[in-house]
Chain A
Amino acid sequence: MKKVVVIGNGMVGYKFCEKFVASENYSDFQLTVFGEEPRRAYDRVHLSEYYAGKTEEDLSMSSATWYKEHHIDLHISEMITEINREEKTVANHRGEKYAYDYLILATGSSAFVPPIPGVEKEGVFVYRTIEDLEAIAAYTKKLKSEGKTQAAVLGGGLLGLEAANAVKELGLDAHVVEFAPRLMPRQLDQGGSDMLQAKIEELGLEVHLNKQTEYIKGEKAIEGLKYIDGTELDVDMLVISAGIRPRDELAKECQLETGIRGGVIVDNTMKTSDDNIFAIGEVALYNNMIYGLVAPGYDMADVAVSHITSDTKKYMADHIDMSTQLKLIGTEVASFGDALSENEDIDTIVYENKRKGVYKRINVSQDGTHLLGGILVGDSSDYNALFQIYNTAMALPENPEDLILGSRGGDGDSLLGDVMDLPDDAQICSCESVSKGAICGAIQDGSCNDLGDVISCTKAGTGCGGCKPMVKDLVDATLKSLGKEVKDTICEHFEYNRQELYDIIKLKGYRKYDEVLDHIGKGDGCETCKPVIASIMASIYADTANEEAPIQDSNDRFLANIQRNGTYSVVPRIPGGEITPEKLIVLGEVGKKYELYTKITGGQRVDFFGARLDQLPKIWKDLIDHGFESGHAYGKSLRTIKSCVGSTWCRYGMDESVSFAIELEERYKGLRSPHKLKGGVSGCIRECAEARCKDFGVIAVEGGWNLYVCGNGGANPKHAELLAEQIDNETVIKYLDRFLMFYIRTAAPLQRTAKWLDKLEGGIEYLKQVVIEDSLSLAEDLEKEMSGLVGSFQCEWTQAIQDEEIMKRFNHFVNSEETDDNLVFVPLRDQKMPEPWK
């Protein structure tokens, strides 16, 4: 068995392992991996999300047991300090030796710290690892306690902007300091940089271009930057992100060939000057270049694996594509091909829309036949199509400007025409190197049946995710070509999904279930479609559950939650969980009077159990007489909005979370939706209201509220994701109106918001576009619909006890005053419970 040793457990090191264990001859090898960081490889590309609440585990590239499952001997917190090429061994910091047949250097890079006087001062950091982030966060806390908030990031490149975003996430005032006259100088031209600058300055960041730092001011700790032009910037912290430096120390010590400015020289098989040693990722110097992107690093891993394990050798391409598409500080940025060159062989076409904050540029060959490269800022939705046109050298339309302007007066078809026209070797996912042929083939050969299958088996779309829309189009088109189109109809009675039903019912104005069934359905309906249509009509017409009772879900029909023995539980609304002692006494009296088992719920309310059907109206009459109303605990509708006491009482509170929770609960109470909805409002980031476990959560921060959406507890807990930050009360309500209505309109039956977001093409970023940027021009409609619903709220229990016809529903027998004699209760801790099921 041959021994393969990998030094470095970063993203590329991990990818090597992944490709290695997938290779056919894997069982002939023993793989040993050394990582000097104290944790398994994690996603460095999305490092700033660590501050937005992602955990180490979320960022981790693999599960805890992955290495073990694949018989990989992983040593973390273990640094290799020596390579002995003659003995073919490596030694760690404790002097323990490990033999190898093949050695992989995947040591990556470290942050480049320019030799500016003062970089050693307290408060100067680099931005590279989770430890760096933790140190920055700890220092930020200290600064804030001293009332200091100014932080600079040195470097306006990709990583620098990512770092600036992280600093901003921490609640500091971020300054970006760049030596070049523009941001992202490697990817953007002046026009693109100007647009990006305008967009990020809108979000409160300050950009300082053309600034070369002479020295760092301050005694012990940093107090500011002094520039060579004589000007200064006072800051309390500096994060350096001025480029990377390959970690080639080990290679140099054992006399492998390295470049003048660092990096281990490799050929197109990733071999170094020693045939048994490979270098991959940011430590490898290929074509005299260090490639600081993940995609080429992954390709290198793949190439190296093939030369060790396989007869089918792969080779690194001569030209490495450095195209990127990403979101920086809320702004979409993409660049591909040769975007920056300007000469007589190239025609440049530029579109700039300052009002919308969009800048697009393409370089086209002078004969107008080929796309050479381009830049997209503010809207990169055309990136995938443009990249394919560029990468596969497709012929351009007659007017190449149509590529960025859209064909005017046309039918709005995609730029590419049909995705299926792409050649089979067109690379769709550049992070994972997945071609169109691989995606379509996975379906054609029967191994995959849907998008989810394709993603898990080809890994397409699992990197940056930018190609997902195109992967979906390919999957859909392939399925269709095989006649395998699957329609997600709600049940056998309707050929539509919920969203289609919603649209049709609204358009046609149907008011009765039978009307819908007669016009667009068949048969006599069932327990699946009836409640769905009841819910849709409730959302459109603000109906309560008393409208057409027999089509309501059983709990809605009886306005209570059926429990184990067929009795019901009763939950009055206690908005925000705030209740006076007088009302609490009323609840106690009611519980006592009807001998109900009483418990406090997780949503800060009181739940009474064991009410017989015939008791429900009597209990509710008592509750309503004392000022209570339905809590809709039985409905697929807004349940509760949990709150912590917030600044009213709490010494840490940043805002009045209880007041806001009550306002939100009063606004959305009774709102019926595809599934239950829960909310939470916390007065500070300690998050005592557990708002991020809710469908929507609002958390007070410096300067406003952060709004999170699409979380839930339950069987598959999921934290809500950040939709907008530092917004005021009115904006929270505006976004919530839009978000909730959009969910209500488009979700599948019984699909909670988290699952809905999972399935939403484009995920949270797309949701932000719809809700915040109004990309579908729906916002006004959504708000109008919501205000209609909010304005027509009625307590359905008040409605019920005032209507004799409705009251008939609550008799156990229609021909007798008797009650259900089948009920048996047994005592439990001074209360009662139903006799256990046998």
Chain B
Amino acid sequence: MEEILEIYKTTTVNEVAVWFKAAKVSDFPKNGGACIKYNNKQIAVFNFERKQEWYACQNVCPHKMEMVLSRGMIGDQGGVPKVACPMHKKTFSLESGENLNGDLEPIATYPVKIEDGFVYIGFSE
């Protein structure tokens, strides 16, 4: 199953080759997440309104390889924005992707930009 993970690689703003126009800002719940599809990838996108920030990461949880992170709750741990997987409450930093309450592999994160009421996710390919 680990091959699922191989298609997700953390991308920094500098590495972005494609800004994918995912959906309207209003399609995403405030302070919650939703999932978008880009080619064969499932990406969880979070409108962290309270922080005035958007975050994106792989939708698959590296714990049991299910496509569920977008359905998780978001919050912070000591100021670090995080998402909690709805399956077993594994938490991951939305910035670094690091597993905050265990030693799972980090999740891949992606840059997000908002233009003209649309949400764009940055990919390197």
Interface residues of chain A, those whose CB is within 8 Å of chain B, are: 492-493, 514, 523-527, 529-531, 549-551, 553-555, 557-558, 562, 564-566, 613, 808-809, 811-816, 818, 820, 822, 837-838
- A526 lies within 8 A of B76 (CB): yes
- A565 lies within 8 A of B37 (CB): no
Q: What is the chain B residue whose CB lies nearest that of A820?
A: B67
B16 interfacial by beta-carbon distance below 8 Å = no
CA distance A527 to B72 in the complex (A): 8
Of A514, A524, A551, A820, chain B has the most CB atoms within 10 Å of the CB of A524
Instruction: Decide: A549 near B29, CB < 8 A? Known: A562-B87, A814-B23, A815-B22.
Output: yes
**Beyond A557-B32, A809-B29: 19 further Cβ-contacts under 8 Å?**
A524-B76, A524-B81, A526-B73, A526-B82, A530-B73, A550-B31, A553-B73, A555-B86, A566-B87, A812-B35, A812-B67, A815-B22, A815-B23, A815-B36, A820-B67, A822-B4, A822-B60, A822-B66, A838-B1
Chain B, 1-30, CB within 8 A of any chain A CB: 1, 4, 22-23, 27-30
Instruction: Decide: A530 near B75, CB < 8 A? Known: A554-B86, A809-B29.
Output: yes
B102 interfacial by beta-carbon distance below 8 Å = no
- B124 → chain A closest CB, angstroms: 19
Q: What is the chain A residue whose CB lies nearest that of B36?
A: A815
B117 interfacial by beta-carbon distance below 8 Å = no
Instruction: Decide: A816 near B37, CB < 8 A? Known: A530-B73, A550-B29.
Output: yes
- A527 lies within 8 A of B84 (CB): yes
Identify which of A554, A813, A838 contacts B72 (C-beta below 8 A): A554
Identify which of A523, A527, A549, A554 contacts B79 (C-beta below 8 A): A523
B68 interfacial by beta-carbon distance below 8 Å = yes
- A814 lies within 8 A of B64 (CB): no
CA distance A564 to B81 in the complex (A): 26
- A633 → chain B closest CB, angstroms: 16
CA distance A551 to B75 in the complex (A): 10
- A754 → chain B closest CB, angstroms: 23
Q: What is the chain A residue whose CB lies nearest that of B75?
A: A526
CA distance A155 to B29 in the complex (A): 72
Instruction: Decide: A565 near B32, CB < 8 A? Known: A527-B75, A813-B37.
Output: no
CA distance A25 to B35 in the complex (A): 69
Of A558, A808, A818, chain B has the most CB atoms within 10 Å of the CB of A808
CA distance A526 to B48 in the complex (A): 12
- B71 lies within 8 A of A554 (CB): yes
- B36 lies within 8 A of A527 (CB): no
The interface residues of chain A lying within 8 Å CB-to-CB of B31 are 514, 550-551
Identify which of B22, B32, B42, B79 contacts A822 (C-beta below 8 A): B42
CA distance A822 to B1 in the complex (A): 10
- A492 lies within 8 A of B78 (CB): yes
The interface residues of chain B lying within 8 Å CB-to-CB of A565 are 66
Of B1, B75, B77, B87, chain A has the most CB atoms within 10 Å of the CB of B75
Chain B, 88-124, CB within 8 A of any chain A CB: 89, 91
CA distance A808 to B26 in the complex (A): 11
CA distance A431 to B111 in the complex (A): 67
CA distance A812 to B71 in the complex (A): 10
Interface of A is mostly: loop
- B73 lies within 8 A of A527 (CB): yes
Instruction: Decide: A492 near B87, CB < 8 A? Known: A550-B29, A812-B35, A818-B37.
Output: no
The interface residues of chain B lying within 8 Å CB-to-CB of A815 are 22-23, 27, 36-37
24 A-B residue contacts at CB 8 Å? A514-B31, A523-B79, A524-B76, A525-B76, A526-B77, A550-B73, A551-B73, A557-B32, A562-B86, A564-B64, A565-B66, A613-B71, A811-B34, A812-B35, A812-B67, A813-B37, A814-B23, A815-B22, A815-B27, A815-B37, A816-B36, A820-B67, A822-B42, A837-B65
Q: What is the chain A residue whose CB lies nearest that of B72?
A: A554
The interface residues of chain A lying within 8 Å CB-to-CB of B82 are 526
- A813 lies within 8 A of B51 (CB): no
Identify which of A551, A553, A808, A814 contacts B35 (C-beta below 8 A): A814
Shortest 6 CB-CB contacts between residues of A and residues of B: A550-B32, A526-B75, A554-B86, A527-B84, A566-B66, A524-B76
- B11 → chain A closest CB, angstroms: 18
The interface residues of chain A lying within 8 Å CB-to-CB of B45 are 814
CA distance A814 to B32 in the complex (A): 13
- B84 lies within 8 A of A566 (CB): no
The interface residues of chain A lying within 8 Å CB-to-CB of B27 are 808, 814-815
- A527 lies within 8 A of B89 (CB): yes
- B98 → chain A closest CB, angstroms: 16
Q: What is the chain A residue whose CB lies nearest that of B71?
A: A554
CA distance A820 to B40 in the complex (A): 11
Q: What is the chain B residue whose CB lies nearest that of A562?
A: B86
CA distance A177 to B67 in the complex (A): 73
CA distance A814 to B81 in the complex (A): 22
- A635 → chain B closest CB, angstroms: 14
The interface residues of chain A lying within 8 Å CB-to-CB of B36 are 813-816
- A838 → chain B closest CB, angstroms: 5
The interface residues of chain B lying within 8 Å CB-to-CB of A493 are 75
Identify which of B35, B64, B71, B81 contacts A813 (C-beta below 8 A): B35
Q: What is the chain A residue whose CB lies nearest that of B31?
A: A550
Q: What is the chain B residue whose CB lies nearest that of A809?
A: B29
Chain B, 45-78, CB within 8 A of any chain A CB: 45, 48, 50-51, 60, 64-68, 71-78
CA distance A557 to B32 in the complex (A): 10
- B73 lies within 8 A of A814 (CB): no
Instruction: Decide: A526 near B84, CB < 8 A? Known: A550-B32, A818-B37.
Output: yes
The interface residues of chain A lying within 8 Å CB-to-CB of B42 are 813, 820, 822
The interface residues of chain A lying within 8 Å CB-to-CB of B65 are 837
CA distance A493 to B84 in the complex (A): 16
- A741 → chain B closest CB, angstroms: 27
CA distance A531 to B76 in the complex (A): 15
- B37 → chain A closest CB, angstroms: 4
Q: What is the chain A residue whose CB lies nearest that of B51?
A: A524
Instruction: Decide: A566 near B68, CB < 8 A? Known: A524-B81, A526-B84, A814-B34.
Output: yes
CA distance A443 to B77 in the complex (A): 32
Q: What is the chain B residue whose CB lies nearest that of A824?
A: B1
Instruction: Decide: A523 near B34, CB < 8 A? Known: A514-B50, A566-B87.
Output: no
